[in-house]
Amino acid sequence: AQSVTQPDIHITVSEGASLELRCNYSYGATPYLFWYVQSPGQGLQLLLKYFSGDTLVQGIKGFEAEFKRSQSSFNLRKPSVHWSDAAEYFCAVGSLKAGGSYIPTFGRGTSLIVHP
Amino acid sequence: DAGVIQSPRHEVTEMGQEVTLRCKPISGHNSLFWYRQTMMRGLELLIYFNNNVPIDDSGMPEDRFSAKMPNASFSTLKIQPSEPRDSAVYFCASSFQGGSPLHFGNGTRLTVT
């Protein structure tokens, strides 16, 4: 069965510093990978996705992620963090389910704290 | 586009009462998902529909939970009777079938006392 591990429960960075959030997945086939962000009291918003092709994926809000098959990883990065980036970040792997849909299985999330 | 709309935003009820959560997916999306989020278990998929038909309800915790999608623009998740352990944030999401990313509503925070 597919699974996603986000090893860091909390990450604290200073505003303007670079950021990397880790994500490792377990999936038997070529994965569909996603990063979502959740602000307090809100639903999840898609940051970026990887289906195929270029392993470096650009997303919204200046985020990017790199798919590394050899490491089963899909880490999220941002070169300079803004205070508004403080939120919960979820990595997800899409697995093929009955009916032909790829349903994401989510990691437990990483809470990003940004210091001024 | 108004996005996925869920109601109510907050629900407080007493144990044993029936609870109904509502969801309006994005127009044109043909897949709908119900997730539950708790501190202990994270985000769990409860059930999903394709073209209004339930495809996989293996995540529904027990028979007290039921979900319906009578048409393409409306779905309900019902808990009867509710229990304190059902307290969680329930999210509805929609997408185009076939792997497109999910669009989430803002959730319903359910508290069962």
Out of A43, A45, A101, the one facing B48 most closely (by C-beta) is: A101
Residue-wise pLDDT for A46-97, tens only, equals 999 998 888 999 999 999 999 999 999 999 999 999 999 999 999 999 877 6
B90 has a chain A CB within 8 A of its CB: no
- In sequence order, what are the residues at sequence separation of 6 or more whose Cβ sits closer than 8 angstroms to the Cβ of residue A100? B50, B97, B98
Look at A108 and B48 and tell me if their CB atoms are within 8 Å.
no
> A3-58 pLDDT, tens per residue?
899 999 999 999 999 999 999 999 877 788 999 999 988 899 999 999 888 899 99
A56-58 and B42-50 beta bridge pairing: unpaired
Work out whether strand A110-115 and strand A87-96 pair parallel, antiparallel, or are unpaired.
antiparallel
Cβ contacts of A45 on chain B, cutoff 8 Å: 104
* Inter-chain touch A46–B106, beta carbons under 8 Å: no
Residues of B within 8 A of A109 (CB-CB) are 42-43
Contacts of B57 (CB under 8 A, 6+ apart): B46, B47, B67
Q: Which residues of B touch A106 (CB under 8 A)?
A: 42-43
Query: Would you call B104 an interface residue with chain A, using a CB distance cutoff of 8 Å?
Result: yes
Q: How far is CA A112 from the centre of its chain?
A: 12
- Specify the pLDDT at position A4: 94
Instruction: Write the DSSP symbol of residue B26.
Output: P
Enumerate residues 35 to 74 of chain B having a beta carbon within 8 A of any beta carbon in chain A. Answer: 42-43, 45, 48, 50, 55-56
In terms of CA atoms, which chain B residue is nearest residue A37?
A: B104
What stretches of chain B adopt beta strand conformation (E)? 5-7, 10-13, 19-24, 31-38, 42-50, 53-56, 65-71, 74-79, 88-95, 103-104, 108-112
- Asked whether B105 and B3 are in contact (CB, 8 A), the reply is yes
CB < 8 Å to A101, chain B:
31, 48, 50, 55, 95, 97-99
Cβ–Cβ under 8 Å, residues A33 and A2: no
Q: Answer yes or no: do A101 and B93 touch at CB < 8 A.
A: no
Contact A46 B48 (CB under 8 A): no
- Please give the average pLDDT of every successive group of 10 residues along chain B, which has 113 residues: 92 98 96 94 93 92 95 97 97 84 94 98
Tokens of B69: 């999608």
The pair of three-digit structure tokens given for residue B31, joined into one six-digit string? 């897949």
